Structure 1
Amino acid sequence: MTDAAMNDPDRAQRAQLALARLLPKLFRGGQAFVGVEASLSGLDGEQAVTRPAGLPHSVAELTAHVNWWNRWMLDIIEMGEAQPYPKRAADTWPPVQAGDWGRVRNEFYELLSRVDTHAARPDLANPVNHEETIGELLADFALHTAHHFGQIVTVRQALGAWPPPGGGDTW
């Protein structure tokens, strides 16, 4: 938030409300991109773990990675303290088997419901660590989620599993 917004309580409150309205759309999708529920719908375990030729990750791996980071962020917000940063990027990509897909998908939805609770908080401008506010941390992770869900669409397109039964743009 800018210094001007911080010095004008009405402006700061409007900015806070705008961010609170935007955050769920960033995590869930909306007008700008297909929602996460639709993006994950209609895949069986085998499809979810298939890595198309030339692509580095499967839908299940991408979802498990998003879960890892969303859980990490929620731990910071809910515990009120910094969590250890992973030593290697590979540590944030848990292995996923076809039989794990239902659990990974359900975990994504459970974490998303926890995020929804925090996105509506009235204290998004409060610091959560030495560098960010709650709102900034949530926005950063919303963009991370949106980034990887764009990749999920690409993987599904390469698998011939797009659009999903829930619908989605085909262009």
Structure 2
Amino acid sequence: MSGWHGLLEGEYAARRQILDGLTLEQVTQVLSPQTHSIYAELYHLELWQRILVTRDEDLYERTWQQDIRYPTQVPTDLQEWTDLVEAFFVGLRQAYEWTASQERLDHETDPGSSMADVLRGLAVHNAYHFGKIVALRQVMGLWPASG
């Protein structure tokens, strides 16, 4: 598992730090028509991670294939944000479970593609969207995060 540490958890600011200390107003703020809110970025991240890690083809068909990749509504209370943050970390722990053995990493997800390939792609996808969240926090004057 140590070889996967940097792909899923290291290499940049701690995921928890990136997501902590934000108000509902801050996570739902959309800075321009070209950007998503912090909430929308994490929603997208968590959805894709859940699809990949749980191998949920039905969820993929209901959302990703229907181009429902970002939320259609904003959360109405901070608990919805907190629940989303925790769901992301549950998924991250599930991703780590795939790294427990070479047999699991070698599991063929599609012809010619292994779970290791999926996890590498997930790591890049997560890094991209976490970079966007940090950039949003920077523009909002909320970075570096306190704590």
The TM-score with structure 1 as length reference comes to 0.73
Residue range with higher mean Cα deviation, 65-74 or 113-122: 113-122
CA contact (8 A) 1:64 1:96 kept: no
CA contact (8 A) 1:125 1:135 kept: yes
* Aligned equivalent of 1:46: 25
Cα distance in 2 for residues equivalent to 1:54 and 1:156: 17
Q: Root-mean-square deviation (CA), in Å?
A: 2.0
Cα distance in 2 for residues equivalent to 1:98 and 1:119: 36
Equivalent position to 2:91, from 96, 103, 111: 111
* Aligned equivalent of 1:97: 75
Residue range with higher mean Cα deviation, 119-128 or 106-115: 119-128
Distance apart, 1:55 and its partner CA: 4.6
CA contact (8 A) 1:23 1:142 kept: no
Which 4+ runs in 1 deviate beyond 6 A? none
Describe the superposition over 1:74-110 as per-residue Cα deviations: whole angstroms up to 9, x where unpaired: 221xx7xx55452243x11123325221111111111
Does 1:70 find its partner at 2:54? no
Cα distance in 2 for residues equivalent to 1:40 and 1:55: 21
User: Match of 2:29, as an amino acid?
Assistant: T
C-alpha distance 131-37 of structure 1, shift in aligned 2 (>3 A):
same
Cα distance in 2 for residues equivalent to 1:144 and 1:152: 13
1:1-171 residue pairs with structure 2 within 5 A? 20-28=1-9, 30=10, 32-53=11-32, 55-76=34-55, 84-85=60-61, 86-89=64-67, 91-94=68-71, 95-99=73-77, 100-123=80-103, 124-166=105-147
Describe the superposition over 1:115-160 as per-residue Cα deviations: whole angstroms up to 9, x where unpaired: 1211233221231222410100111111101110000000101111
Taking only the aligned residue pairs, the percentage that are identical comes to 24
Cα distance in 2 for residues equivalent to 1:129 and 1:158: 40
Pairs aligned (count): 140
Residue range with higher mean Cα deviation, 66-75 or 44-53: 44-53
